[in-house]
Every structure is written in C-alpha cells, then in structure tokens.
Structure 1
C-alpha cells in the first residue's frame, strides 16, 4: 500500500510531466511506459526462479522495494527525458525483482480454499495506495501551483517507510528444504508446470495486449478538458473502484468458475474501451475509467490465483516469473502500438483497438474449455 501510494503520486503526473514539461510525444510516452512495465514483468522470471532456488523470498522482496524507493528522487531532479527514463526503468526493475517472490510468499502463506480472497485482499491494499497517491498528488499540485518536482520529492517518503516495514515487520514462513537444490528453469521443471499453467500464461498475454498502459487514460482526460492539476483524479476514480471490487471478486473466485469470471472481466473491459473511444466530455471519460477499474478488480487477483492453482508449490516463484515475462513482452508491444495509433489516427483508435484485442482474448478463452483451471481439492 505504501509503495503504491508513492509510485502513483508520480505515475499519475508523469505522462503530463513528460508531455508538457519535456516535450515528449504520445508515441514516445507509450514506448517509455511499455518499456518500463515490460522491464518489471520480464525481471520477475529471474527473481521468481531465484527465490525457488534459494528457498527464501523475503530478501529479494526487500531489495526490490529498496530499488523502487531509491528511484523516486531521480524524478524530482531530472532535467531531461533521459533521466526520467532511467528513473522509470530503475523503479520498474525494483518492481520486477520484488513481484514474483512477494506473490509466491502470499501463495505460500495461504490455504488453497482462501487463495482467491488472499490475492483479492492484496490487490485491494495495493490499490488503496494507488488511489490515495493521485489524490495526494492533486492536493499538492493545487497547493504548490503545479510544481511537479516538489510532488515527486514528497513521494519518496512513503516508499522509504514501505522498505522499513517489510524489512523489520514481516517474518517469512519456513519452507521445506530440498536435499539438493535444483535449477527451477531446467527443462524437467518447466515440463512440470503443465499444460493448464501454460494456457493461463497465454491467456494472460493476450489479455495484456488488450490492456495497454494506463498512461493513455491520463492523456485522454487532459485532452477532453480536465485541468492538469485535477488529471490525477482520473486515477483516483479508477483505483477506488479497483480497490473496492478486488476483494469481493477475489472471494467470489473461490466459489465460482475462474473461466467465467475472467470472461466477465474481459466483457467489462470491452465496454470500458468503447466508452472511452466515444468519450467527448470528461464525464464520459470518468465513466469509462470507472469500468476500467472494475475490470481490474475482477481480473488481476484472479490471474494471480490461477497461476498459483496450476503450478507446483516449489515452482511458484518461477511460475509467476514466466507469466510476467510473457506479459511484459506483450505490454511493450501493446503500449507502442497504442501510442502509434494515438499519434497517427487519434485517441479513439487506441481504445477501439483495445476492444478488438479483448475479443481475441475471449476467443482464446473459449478455445480451451477442457483444461482444468480450478484449485485441486
């Protein structure tokens, strides 16, 4: 929650900072955001595998959170776009290092029949920080007359508190040690992950193609007339809906078909994309953003649960890593395409393309009805 508070104070303003203060184009912003998110997701494959190999996850998580905290002051002092890119990549590198070990720890600590609720609660707490961050950013921008850099300095404080809380407040559960350490990404172990797991990876990749960087929500709001100081309220609205829906839908996933729930989430994203594509006023943008937040609440904890349910316990870190590797590669492609469409054909084309990719994801979902994706009794 604290790290998301810090990160979203910056991320809710960063597209506008790059666009207005540093002169970046929408295509450039899309590439930067896609590269940053891809970096985080790709690095997770290595940190997840390393946590499985070592049998320990907390140390990697602390290191990842510390890198994220150290990146925050770089945004505040950046004189040119290159420094911003470096800070963004360092921040996402930290996220990549901590992400898979953290998710694997959640799975390690949680009984299988409560796993959906546990991941839903984690997403809710993440997202509480994610809507408080933009809200605080709005207040500080109004107070300090749109001083981006001053807000970025303040964002470093909760990040440092998050590192301290994890380092000194969390006790890692004991895990059974193997007699001999094995390479988690050997051919034998990758085959143990099984068909159902790799199918989840494929669906997650297509889903990521449909869900490009949220930087484009911020740019759309500004283009439709929202004042710069108030643009972060768009992310507040999205993350508030996300936070309120993630835990209830996480609990629901423990009692109903994961495939049906994921299809519901894709349907909501299609509607969100269509509303955003046709938006001519900030109020319509807000409605589309709220639907975007709802689809996140339905699907993000669910996908994490599906990975945990289809992977062996001793390979969960590796499983999350490969899931995010594929998603990271696709995120880079999706954000680049979204930015190119925005620059060449206008904002609406970006969101119409997102809706088409959602339909593709639904077709992939329907093509593998025979695979077992629910938790084993």
Structure 2
C-alpha cells in the first residue's frame, strides 16, 4: 500500500514538473537568442546564465534549512513554483535586455526556493521505489515537459516569423497548469515525510566525509558544464541554424536527458555510482561537438549534453539522498546545490568570457574541468558503494 501511494506521489510530482519544465525550459531554449536580439553580448549572456544559477543554487541553503527546520515542505515548494513559473511569460513584455535578465534571474530564484523542499519530499516517496528509479522516473516526466516546451516555442517562432514575444506569452498556459497540480498534490499528500520508513542512521552529527568528497567531484562537473543559453548564443551568432531550429535541438537534448535518467536510475539502484561515472565519461565530449563542429556534430553534441544533464538531475541527487537521513535532507540538498551553483556560476561566467576570446580555449577548459570531476568520482566510487552497502545492512 505504501509503495503504491509513494509511486502515485512521485508520478503526480513528476507531472507537475512536466508542465513547469514545459514553461521554463521552453524559455531557456530561446533566452540566449532573445538576449542577442535585444543587444546583449556573449559575455553578458554567460554572466547572466552564471549569476542566475549562482543565486538559484546558493539560496537553496536557506530554503533547504528552512524546510527541515519548519517541516513546511509544501508551503515553501508552492511559493517557489509561483515565482519560478510566473516570471517566465512576463519576458514577453521586456523591451530591453537588462529587464529580461532580471526576469530570467527571478525565475532561477523561484526554483531555488522550491527545489530543496521538493527534492526532500521526492526522496521520501522514492525511498519505497529505490532512489535511483524514483528520481529517474521523476526526471523522465520532467524532461518530457522540457522536450515539449521547446517544440512549442519553436512552432510559435515559425508561425509568428521569429516573434519572441508571442513565444513567451503562450507559456502562461503550462505555468498555470503546473501551479494547479502542485496545489492539488498538497491537498492529498499533506505529510510526505511519513512515506519513508525511518531507519537508524550511521551518522548522528554532521554529514559523512564521503558526502563532502563527492560534492567536490560534482563541483568540478558544474565548473566545466556549459549552460544552454551560451550554446544557443553560439548557434545564432555563427548562423549555424535558423532561429526556430535552435529550440528543436534543446528539445532533442531534453529527450536525451529524460531517457538517460530512466536508464541510469535503474542501473544506479543495481550498480551504484558506476552509472554516474559512465554518464560523465560520455558527457565529456559535448564541448568540441557543439562549439567546434558543424550542424551534424551539433545534433550529436546536444544528445551527449542531454545525457550528462540526465545524470545530474537524477542519480547525482539520488546519491545525496543515500548519504543523508530524512530529517537533514532538505539542508543537505540545499548545501549541495549551493556549492554546485557557485561553481556553475564561475564556469559559466568564465566560459562566456572565453567565448569572446577563444572558443578553442573554452572547449579545453570545459573538458579539463569535467575530466577532473570524473577522476575524483572514480577514485571514491568504491568507498561510496561500500558506504551504501553498510547502510543497507544496518
């Protein structure tokens, strides 16, 4: 009975994410070209993407701590969804790039508010199913929306002759649906922490040392992982493809993300962090494909980029859930995401600058940072597996 209840909750939360991702991932697929139209430079786009992620991740420490302290997981999640989603269609009314950047950053702040509490609740439900499969299933539904959204704005751009305002306005629809779903979920699952069977934790104070070692490895991944606005900016500034095709490639990446999350989630529950090492090795090669290749390589590169994103949004989080007991999980997700965001900001800002200076150096930086992450993770993979096994026996 508990398993069925947990599964229904994960699916319902996944459907909420489907429509929310349809909203803001659709916007992210055209934010780069939109800023280019409004007169922003590549350095500005990279800085914006990095600052948005920095705020979007660093604020999660506060949000995660408050969710654990108050146990008000639902209230924090709902408020975050309102800010996250309603700021997106308002981009239609931004007449200059400075205001557009403010709204793009506000969208990231809204996501920062809701994510740690949402992830903690998701981990409560996923505990019954297997953390890898639970997070993977959620990510697959999430990325279904992230695939449909860019297709939606691509069609809007095609029909309206590249009118970006029309593309943003249509995103009011999925935003309202997502908000309605999260309010409905709150009404029928008011106490999600009861879904997870309480077990005695090996750690009574702080977080295990492996958690911090793992965090350092993933931080280097964030440092070298180019954000899509910069990739999209490159596609437009080099005239590699028409404007209405750029969202299609993002949709392809999101489809790759969702499929990878499902597969990696299942593999993770059976073989642990080996699945993550494999995914990160594959993702290592997206940089030269999207920044140095032609149209065909760009297509392959976006699939590879999507695989890496699928790993980040599913089994990277599932690993954190294994390290931390339920009552500390909101804070743990907040700390983890804040460090991730700090390194993402540094990497995005630097790569935006490097793009204007030398694309080859940008690609080299991306590969080196990801390679460091891969080596560090491979070095502690066996210890992580042993730690998980010890917890299960306990």
Q: Report if TM-score (shorter chain) is over 0.5.
A: yes
- SS of residue in 2 equivalent to 1:255: helix
- In structure 1, distance between residues paired with 2:27 and 2:192: 36
Cα–Cα, structure 1 residues 250 and 369, in superposed 2: closer, same or farther, change >3 Å?
closer
- In structure 2, distance between residues paired with 1:161 and 1:7: 13
Is contact 1:217–1:289 with CA below 8 Å preserved after alignment? no
Task: Name the residue aligned to 2:362.
Answer: 350
- SS of residue in 1 equivalent to 2:87: helix
Q: Does 1:6 align with 2:20?
A: no
- In structure 2, distance between residues paired with 1:220 and 1:129: 24
Task: Spell out the pairing of 1:118-137 with structure 2 (5 A cutoff).
Answer: 118-137=134-153
Aligned equivalent of 1:271, options 262, 282, 285: 285
Task: Spell out the pairing of 1:1-150 with structure 2 (5 A cutoff).
Answer: 1-19=18-36, 21-111=37-127, 114-150=130-166
| Runs of 4 or more above 6 Å deviation | none
Could you tell me which runs of 5 or more consecutive residues in structure 2 were left unpaired when the two chains were aligned.
1-17, 195-202
Task: Name the residue aligned to 1:323.
Answer: 336
CA offset at residue 224 of structure 1? Answer: 5.1
Task: Name the residue aligned to 1:295.
Answer: 308
CA offset at residue 317 of structure 1? Answer: 0.1
Aligned residue pair count? 361
Is contact 1:221–1:234 with CA below 8 Å preserved after alignment? no
Cα–Cα, structure 1 residues 262 and 88, in superposed 2: closer, same or farther, change >3 Å?
same
- In structure 2, distance between residues paired with 1:54 and 1:71: 27
User: Residues 295-340 of structure 1, C-alpha deviation per residue, up to 9 Å, x if partnerless?
Assistant: 2223431110110001122100000000001011111100011111
Task: Name the residue aligned to 2:251.
Answer: 236
Task: Name the residue aligned to 1:220.
Answer: 234
Cα–Cα, structure 1 residues 146 and 362, in superposed 2: closer, same or farther, change >3 Å?
same
Task: Name the residue aligned to 1:247.
Answer: 262
- In structure 1, distance between residues paired with 2:90 and 2:114: 20
* Structure in which a larger fraction of residues adopt helix: 2
- SS of residue in 1 equivalent to 2:284: helix
Is contact 1:104–1:316 with CA below 8 Å preserved after alignment? yes
- In structure 1, distance between residues paired with 2:291 and 2:371: 16
Task: Name the residue aligned to 1:200.
Answer: 214
CA offset at residue 112 of structure 1? Answer: 5.9
- SS of residue in 1 equivalent to 2:357: helix
- In structure 2, distance between residues paired with 1:216 and 1:162: 27
User: Residues 5-53 of structure 1, C-alpha deviation per residue, up to 9 Å, x if partnerless?
Assistant: 011221111110111x211111110000111111111111111111111
Is contact 1:62–1:167 with CA below 8 Å preserved after alignment? yes
Is contact 1:65–1:95 with CA below 8 Å preserved after alignment? yes
CA offset at residue 201 of structure 1? Answer: 1.6
Task: Name the residue aligned to 1:282.
Answer: 295
- In structure 2, distance between residues paired with 1:370 and 1:243: 27
TM-score (norm 2): 0.87
Aligned equivalent of 2:190, options 165, 172, 185: 172
Q: Does 1:308 align with 2:321?
A: yes
Is contact 1:265–1:296 with CA below 8 Å preserved after alignment? no
Is contact 1:224–1:282 with CA below 8 Å preserved after alignment? no
CA offset at residue 372 of structure 1? Answer: 3.0
- In structure 1, distance between residues paired with 2:41 and 2:103: 19
Cα–Cα, structure 1 residues 278 and 72, in superposed 2: closer, same or farther, change >3 Å?
closer
Could you tell me which runs of 5 or more consecutive residues in structure 1 were left unpaired when the two chains were aligned.
177-188
Is contact 1:51–1:57 with CA below 8 Å preserved after alignment? yes
- In structure 2, distance between residues paired with 1:156 and 1:128: 18
- In structure 2, distance between residues paired with 1:269 and 1:126: 20
Is contact 1:15–1:215 with CA below 8 Å preserved after alignment? yes
- In structure 2, distance between residues paired with 1:75 and 1:29: 15
Cα–Cα, structure 1 residues 111 and 232, in superposed 2: closer, same or farther, change >3 Å?
same
